[in-house]
């Protein structure tokens, strides 16, 4: 089984100029944790998702303490008003201001083999990976794959009876 046999195509994507509020609406409507951001040619630019949003909304102290493996932040006040203030500061800003850093972003290709895909998903902190075809400097987004897609592939028997006729060039 390869990534191509289980990835989702026909994705909901964002443009770099789309607002954070628009991104949140799309994530909510389509029950996805991450949305890929692409340019006019469909080239992958980055991801915007719930993980990034939590970093924007949580108090800075919670993020700093989380880096030191503090397992409970119950001592922090609820700060609903402050969280609302932080939301209003970012809601109308373009998502391109808040994309995950390219150096930390993992991706796979349509031909990525199942064992490597499992390892990449395990390493990813976003629970899903963009599927990209690289040609020169172009990174064409062709799909997304998540741990749920892997489970569905196993349950539906694609692991036992793979159908990997790759028609997507790498």
- In order along its 170 residues, the chain shows pLDDT tens digits of 789 999 998 889 999 999 999 999 999 999 888 899 999 988 999 999 888 888 787 765 544 444 544 455 555 555 667 778 888 898 999 999 988 766 678 899 999 998 899 899 888 876 789 999 998 888 999 999 988 888 888 887 655 555 544 444 45
Residue 108's pLDDT is 93
Residue 85's pLDDT is 82
Residue 64's pLDDT is 47
Residue 27's pLDDT is 92
End-to-end CA, the chain = 16
Residue 151's pLDDT is 86
Distance between CA atoms of residues 138 and 56, nearest Å: 30
Contact at 8 Å (CB) between 95 and 18?
Answer: yes
| Sequence-ordered list of residues with C-beta below 8 angstroms from that of 105, at least 6 positions apart, any chain | 46, 47, 130
Sign of CA dihedral 54, 55, 59, 61: positive
Residue 60's pLDDT is 57
Contact at 8 Å (CB) between 108 and 3?
Answer: yes
What is the torsion angle, in degrees rounded to the nearest 10, for the CA atoms of residue 82, residue 83, residue 87 and residue 90?
80
Domains of the chain: 3-155 (3.10.580.10)
Residue 68's pLDDT is 47
Residue 131's pLDDT is 95
Question: Which two tokens mark 64?
Answer: 């700093």
Give this prediction's pTM: 0.76
Contact at 8 Å (CB) between 157 and 101?
Answer: no
Sequence-ordered strand ranges (E) for the chain? 34-38, 44-49, 128-135, 138-146
Distance between CA atoms of residues 62 and 85, nearest Å: 16
Instruction: Point out which residues pair with 130 in neighbouring strands.
Output: 144
Residue 79's pLDDT is 61
Neighbours of 37 (CB within 10 A): 25
Residue 73's pLDDT is 54
């Amino acid at each position: 089984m390869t990534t191509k046999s289980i990835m989702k195509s026909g994705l909901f994507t964002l443009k770099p100029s789309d607002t954070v509020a628009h991104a949140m609406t799309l994530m909510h409507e389509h029950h996805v944790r991450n949305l890929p951001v692409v340019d006019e040619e469909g080239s992958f630019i980055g991801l915007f998702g719930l993980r990034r949003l939590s970093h924007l909304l949580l108090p800075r102290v919670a993020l700093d303490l989380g880096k030191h493996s503090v397992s409970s932040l119950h001592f922090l006040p609820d700060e609903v008003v402050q969280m609302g203030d932080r939301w209003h500061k970012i809601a109308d800003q373009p998502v391109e201001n808040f994309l995950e850093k390219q150096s930390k972003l993992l991706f796979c290709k349509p031909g990525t083999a199942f064992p490597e895909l499992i390892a990449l998903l395990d390493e990813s902190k976003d629970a899903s990976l963009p599927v990209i075809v690289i040609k020169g400097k172009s990174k064409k987004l062709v799909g997304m794959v998540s741990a749920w897609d892997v489970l569905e592939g196993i349950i539906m028997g694609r692991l036992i009876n793979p159908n990997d006729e790759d028609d997507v060039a790498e």
